[in-house]
Each structure stands twice: as structure tokens, then as C-alpha cells.
Amino acid sequence: MKYQVLILLIFWSLSIFAQDPNPDLFQTWNLNFVQSSDLGTPYEVSEIEPEITPTLTILENYEFSGEGVCNTFNGIFTFENSDTLQTSEYSSTDNDCGVQVHNSFESEYFSFMQDGGFYEITEEGEGLVLTISNALFGLAIFRNFKLSTSDFDLSNIRIYPNPSSNLIFLKSENDLIEKIELINSIGQISKSFISDFKTLDVSDLSAGIYIMRIYADNGVLNEKIIKK
């Protein structure tokens, strides 16, 4: 009898704390940016030549599949909580795409998808943006709509000094910045800025590596910064 009560209590506890993932997650997403870790190579999909259209499709039964360039992958996600997805099963094909940058991109993208991480879904215009961050400072950004090749031309934004212990300065000539977020190593937003983007005070943050996510009028830029 005691064991039955204990089992019932365990299932009751799990039902209390378990949360369903965001229902907007279950659709087909277009990959725009990926970097598997802070040591990996960042890829802006719109800058890869010849042009590619990588995708990720997530089903309501938590199965997922995707396309890189000439290869595909599939697996199953598990959800420890409503905003964290983990890859429990994964497999992929391994064909030579014939172009070095395509092979290198697929290696980065497929490596990222083998782990999963913290995810967030936000609105952008009439569409949605899916951002997944992992504990290795990896990042992938998807949209449920396609972008033109000019949408990520944010190279004129300068960020300095880096590393910094107190203030970080931004210089942008043409891009209208809308919001800036600092993401910690476990994918959480440590600090947000919605105004005065030229000078960012980071003195209250713990020392470490962060992803600075800059939302501009023509796309999103992700840069690694170091807080001393």
C-alpha cells in the first residue's frame, strides 16, 4: 500500500510540474542562422553561395525532420519543461554535397540539431521567429517565412570594446536598432535594452561569455561578447 501511494505521489508531482511546449513550435521553419557552439563557424544562410534553403519541421508528436543542402535528418524531441527541448533520438544522411561550404554548413547545422536547448518564439511582422540556444553558446535562428538575401546585411554595426567590464559601445550607420538582448550560457536573457543603444551598461552582469542579439529593422545580428 505504501509503495502504491508513493507511485501515485510521483505521478502527481510530474503532472503538476510538467508543462506543454508552445503550440506555435509545431510547423515548418526556415533556418536563417546557425552556430553549433562558441568554437563553431557561424553561418548566415543568406550569404551562402550557391543559394540553399535549409528547413526544420516539428510535429505535434515531438518528431522532427529537416533538410540541409543535399542531406536530411530526423529525430524526436523531449521537453523537460515548456521552453527547453532536448534531442532524444537523431539520425541523418551523409552524402557529399559537392561544394565545400555546403558540406561545412551541414556539419555545423546537423551538429547543432543533435542536442537541442532553450527555445523562444517571438513575433516579427506577420510571422514568427524561433530561436534555439544551447549550453555551448550555440545558436540557431529560424523563421516561418523566407527572407531575401539582403535582409541580414548588418555588417556595418560595430561593437566595442570586447571584452568589457563596464560599458559596451555600438556604432550603426544605416541600421535602425529596435532591441538588444544579452543571452547567457544556458540560453536565458540576462539583460534587455529597448533604448539608448549607443552605450550599454553591462557592469551588473557576471563575468563570462554572452551572445548579444541585436534586433534591427532589416534582420537580427548575433555577436559573442565577453564580460570581464
Res 200: pLDDT: 93
Res 197: pLDDT: 87
| Start-to-end C-alpha separation, the chain | 57
CA distances from 5 to 10, 11, 85 (A): 9, 10, 31
Res 217: pLDDT: 67
Res 173: pLDDT: 62
- What the chain holds in terms of domains, given with CATH numbers, is 19-151 (2.40.128.270), 153-228 (2.60.40.3080)
How many whole angstroms separate alpha carbon 41 and alpha carbon 109? 10
Closest CA to 34 of 50, 21, 52, 18: 52
Closest CA to 52 of 130, 127, 133, 149: 149
Q: pLDDT digit of tens for each residue in the chain (228 aa)? A: 554 544 444 444 444 444 689 999 999 999 999 999 989 999 989 888 888 999 999 999 999 999 999 999 999 999 988 889 999 999 999 999 989 999 999 999 999 999 889 999 998 888 899 999 998 899 999 999 876 544 445 567 888 898 999 999 988 765 678 899 998 887 788 999 998 888 999 999 999 989 898 887 666 778 889 999
How many whole angstroms separate alpha carbon 209 and alpha carbon 206? 9
Q: Which residues pair with 44 in a beta bridge?
A: 33
DSSP 27: S
Buried b (16+ CB within 10 A) or exposed e, 8-39: eeeeeeeeeeeeebeeebeeebbbbbbbbbee
Predicted model pTM: 0.64
118-164, pLDDT tens digit by residue?
999 998 888 899 999 998 899 999 999 876 544 445 567 888 898 99
How many whole angstroms separate alpha carbon 53 and alpha carbon 29? 10
Give me the residue label for grid cell 540576462.
Answer: 190
- 8 A C-beta contact, residue 33 and residue 224: no
